[in-house]
Amino acid sequence: MSHESLRCLVSGIQHFSPCPGHGLRTTIFFAGCPLRCFWCCNPECRLNRPVLVCNTEKCIGQSLCGHCLDSCSSSAIYSSKNAIRVARDRCVNCGECVSRCPSGALFMSSRLMSPEEIMEDVLKDKDYVMNGGGITLSGGEPMMHPQEAAALMRLAHAEGLHTAMETCGFFDLDAPHTIAALRETDLLFFSIQHSDPLAHRRGTGVDNSRILCNFERIVAEFPQLEINSRTLIVPDFNDDDTTMRNIARIVKRTGSFFHILEVFSPICQDKYAQMGLPFSYGQLALPQERLEAIVDIFQEEGLSVEIH
């Protein structure tokens, strides 16, 4: 079946990706996310539309080039202290300046690709990825585009590839396309960020009731699906004993005995600057002894833990 009419809004395709899953992976980053986590590591994937990104480190300089300066009919590009800048209040993200930039300093955060085009790119690595590896859908939130996600994974399965998906869990589980996407998923990484609805809303913009309900239902209703629950430990948000124990109990209540812990790293600050976005989160580090105490909590609750 052809998916020619479908278009995935893709922020990037990463070959030999460090993203989790079995074997070697190619990760496809979908753009668009219903959450606004204040620690988000992929701000370029949050909006469901392309946004201009300006990486001044790649700019070869106004004196050598400067093509972008007269390319913008909105007068949104200017120079300050010999560096190219974008006036975000005037930029309409039309992409005209991108086509004039020879160095790749200016680029759009995402673009539309058909599932077939994505698979063509994925299959460049087929000889390496075939050996138990496959594709991982990430983002952003792949389930904001469940029809496209299902189509892409169907193509991957037809090539004998394993499929994995990373999700924040905030989606309509009863929508037919969502169900189809879950049926095409071999391994689901499901994030549980907080046990308390109000704290979850403060940190992500939505409360967690739908996410927790989806988690319990998916475990019960999709027995063929391998599910890895996981939590990104964000200092001063969810790293206290009570929250961690409550998350462990939520996982255990579903009959699962395994959970992944990830540790926040503020490596994404440059991306915020390139998109003209503020990054308000500080650089709090999680002390090793605190991480060990959290692992102890999960083990006391009967779960085995992997740290990523």
The residues, ordered by sequence, that sit 6+ positions from 273 with a Cβ below 8 Å of its Cβ are 279
Q: Which of 22, 24, 48, 66 binds ligand SF4 (CB under 6 A)?
A: 66
CB atoms within 10 A of CB 182: 23
Which is nearest to 240 in space by CA: 187, 294, 191, 199? Answer: 294
Question: Which residue among 7, 100, 111, 177 contacts ligand SF4 (CB under 6 A)?
Answer: 100
The CB-of-118 to ligand SF4 minimum distance in angstroms stands at 24
Give the shortest CB-48-to-ligand SF4 separation in angstroms: 17
| Beta carbon of residue 108, minimum distance to ligand SF4 (angstroms, whole number) | 8
Are 26 and 136 in contact, with CB atoms under 8 Å apart?
Answer: yes
| Cα-based angle 263, 269, 275 (whole degrees, multiple of 5) | 135
List the interface residues with ligand SF4, window 75-94 (CB under 6 A).
76-77, 84, 86, 91-94
Distances in whole angstroms, Cα of residue 4 to Cα of each of 108, 116, 154, 289, 298:
23, 8, 14, 52, 46
Interaction of residue 55 with ligand SF4, rule CB under 6 A: no
Using the contact rule CB under 6 A, the part of the chain among 72-80, 115-123, 176-184, 201-209 near ligand SF4 is 72-80
Q: Is 60 in the site for ligand SF4 (CB under 6 A)?
A: yes
- How far apart CA 302 and CA 194 sit, in angstroms, is 19
Nearer to ligand SF4, 92 or 198 (CB): 92
Phi and psi dihedrals of 94, rounded to 5?
Answer: -80, -25
Q: Which of 28, 35, 72, 122 binds ligand SF4 (CB under 6 A)?
A: 72
Which residues between 182 and 201 bind ligand SF4 (CB under 6 A)? Answer: none
* Binding test (CB under 6 A) with ligand SF4, winner from 74, 147, 254, 256: 74
Q: Does 101 bind ligand SF4 (CB under 6 A)?
A: yes
Both ends of the chain: CA-CA distance in Å?
38
Binders of ligand SF4 among residues 17 to 36 (CB under 6 A) are none
Nearest one of 185, 175, 174, 176 to 227, comparing CA atoms: 185
Output 96 or 262, the one with its CB closest to ligand SF4.
96
Euclidean distance between CA atoms 42 and 235, whole angstroms = 18
Q: H/E/C letters for each residue in 103-114?
A: CCCEEECCEEEC
Nearest to ligand SF4 of 76, 187 (CB atom): 76
> At closest approach, how far in Å is the CB of 77 from ligand SF4?
5
Chain positions contacting ligand SF4, by CB under 6 A: 52, 59-60, 62, 65-68, 71-72, 74, 76-77, 84, 86, 91-97, 100-103, 105-106
